[in-house]
């Protein structure tokens, strides 16, 4: 019953978002996918210009590290992507360790809509949704940094937003044609369990956000009923930054999106635009058959959204990185070529989704 209920919105969004794409030509890919600078993913927490460094601290909800991470995001957004609308979704909840006291959870939402949609008001444009959690797990007896979990994925999304913004002006122009989609980035709080993973001790931020969005109703004549319905695809990045990641295709319903990304990975490698030399592609499941999909999936921030009908592409390696939930999950154990390649692959995927292939025509 539950699967059947899910399949209807999944099918609808699949239909609405698979309309004509122009493949991005090799030449255009070369100009649109830049090399991250040395500063972008510098590991020093005191390097305020680095997207990653300031996140390589403990970021446990209710502690100063949580606030420092938030300030890093807001400073970044103000400086580099002022065109994006920043909003908060705050909640609080006791945890098994808080002795009944509420612990604060703060999700940050960065949203960029095409000009025509902004004029028409909220709720009228589909949004490619990219998400990662910024809280770090509390581990007794040490400072757990969570570099792959998920400082690096957050930094990747910041880089993607900044580089994408450099293209959007040209791509959208005055953007009066009323077509295409926008993008939003969710920096989620409270993903980690404080004691051990249960339905109530985990996913504090994403559960609160999905519930709040379900309750937000857009005006009657809007294209979408609420912010959940606006999600054309929910792409969740987690546990990325270790070498040789193996990210399977988890869901048959979004396998087509996985295939797009896997194809882009292969094209970028072929063009010499990626720098890692993994033993196998990051996304090896492009040819997975319908019969090979199982019901198994990994519990993570996509769940509260998937339950409510959002189509999900889950970018999490299986097996998990060797450093998973160990104090070794720090900057020193990241494979920086892999981190930068995830940034390039994600940017290429977003650009293709937003039909940047048509820039060829605009330029000539």
Ligand X SMILES: *[C@@H]1O[C@H](CO)[C@@H](O)[C@H](O)[C@H]1NC(C)=O
- Please state, in angstroms and rounded to a whole number, the distance separating the CA atoms of residues 316 and 298: 9
Which of the stretches 16-24, 135-143, 193-201, 315-323 binds Zn ion when contact is defined by CB under 5 A? 135-143
Cβ atoms 323, 334 nearer than 8 A: no
Q: Does 88 bind ligand X (CB under 6 A)?
A: yes
> What are the C-alpha distances in Å from 219 to residues 99, 121, 224?
41, 9, 9
Answer yes or no whether residue 6 interacts with ligand X by CB under 6 A. Answer: no
Answer yes or no whether residue 43 interacts with ligand X by CB under 6 A: no
Using CB under 5 A, pick the residue from 40, 42, 149, 300 that binds Zn ion. 149
How far is Cα 152 from Cα 316, in angstroms, rounded to an integer?
Answer: 13
Matching residue, tokens 């319908």: 290
Site string for ligand X, 294-333 (x = CB under 6 A): ----------------------------------------
Tokens of 136: 């770090």
Catalytic annotation on 191?
yes
The reply on whether position 86 binds ligand X by CB under 6 A is: no
Task: State the catalytic residue, choosing from 238, 300, 329, 330.
Answer: 238
Instruction: Quote the CA–CA distance of 166 and 281 in Å, as a whole number.
Output: 28
Interaction between residue 106 and ligand X (CB under 6 A): yes
| Residue 137 or 260 having the CB closest to Zn ion | 137
Please give the structure tokens belonging to residue 13.
Answer: 């969004």
Return the number of the residue (265 or 329) whose C-beta is nearest Zn ion.
Answer: 329
Integer Cα distance of 277 and 343 in angstroms: 15
List the x/- string, 44-83, binding to ligand X by CB under 6 A: ----------------------------------------
Torsion of CA 86, 113, 161, 146, to 10 degrees: 50
Cα–Cα dist 86/80, whole Å: 12
Which residues ranging from 189 to 248 are in contact with ligand X (CB under 6 A)? 211-212, 215
Active-site residue list: 191, 238
Per CB under 5 A, residues contacting Zn ion are 137, 149
Task: Report the interface residues with ligand X, using CB under 6 A.
Answer: 88, 90, 106, 211-212, 215
């Amino acid at each position: 019953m539950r699967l059947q209920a899910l399949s209807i919105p999944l099918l609808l969004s699949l239909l609405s978002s698979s309309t004509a794409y122009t493949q991005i030509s090799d030449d255009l890919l070369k100009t649109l996918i830049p090399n991250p600078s040395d500063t972008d993913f510098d590991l020093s927490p005191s390097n305020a210009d680095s997207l990653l460094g300031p996140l390589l601290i403990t970021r446990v909800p209710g502690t100063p590290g949580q606030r420092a991470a938030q300030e890093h995001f807001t400073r970044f957004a103000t400086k580099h992507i002022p065109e994006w609308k920043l909003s908060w979704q705050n909640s609080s909840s006791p945890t098994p360790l808080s002795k009944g006291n509420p612990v604060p959870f703060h999700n940050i939402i960065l949203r960029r809509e095409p000009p025509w949609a902004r004029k028409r008001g909220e709720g009228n444009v589909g949004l490619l949704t990219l998400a990662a959690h910024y809280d770090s797990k509390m581990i007794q007896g040490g400072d757990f940094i969570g570099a792959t979990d998920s400082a690096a994925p957050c930094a990747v999304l910041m880089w993607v937003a900044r580089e994408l913004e450099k293209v959007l002006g040209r791509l959208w122009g005055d953007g009066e044609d009323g077509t295409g989609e926008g993008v939003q980035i969710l920096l989620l709080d409270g993903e980690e369990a404080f004691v051990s993973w249960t339905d109530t001790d985990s996913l504090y931020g994403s559960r609160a956000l999905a519930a709040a969005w379900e309750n937000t109703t857009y005006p009657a004549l809007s294209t979408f009923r609420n912010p959940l319905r606006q999600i054309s695809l929910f792409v969740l990045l987690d546990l990325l930054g270790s070498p040789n990641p193996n990210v399977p295709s988890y869901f048959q319903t979004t396998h087509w999106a996985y295939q797009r990304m896997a194809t882009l990975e292969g094209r970028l490698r072929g063009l010499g635009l990626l720098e890692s030399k993994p033993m196998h592609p990051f996304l090896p499941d492009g040819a997975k058959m319908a019969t090979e999909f199982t019901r198994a999936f990994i519990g993570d921030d996509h769940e509260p959204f998937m339950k409510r009908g959002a189509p999900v592409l889950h970018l999490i390696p299986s097996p998990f990185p060797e450093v998973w939930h160990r104090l070794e999950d720090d900057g020193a154990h990241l494979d920086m070529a892999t981190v930068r390649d995830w940034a390039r692959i994600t940017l290429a995927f977003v650009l293709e989704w937003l039909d940047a292939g048509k820039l060829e025509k605009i330029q000539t």
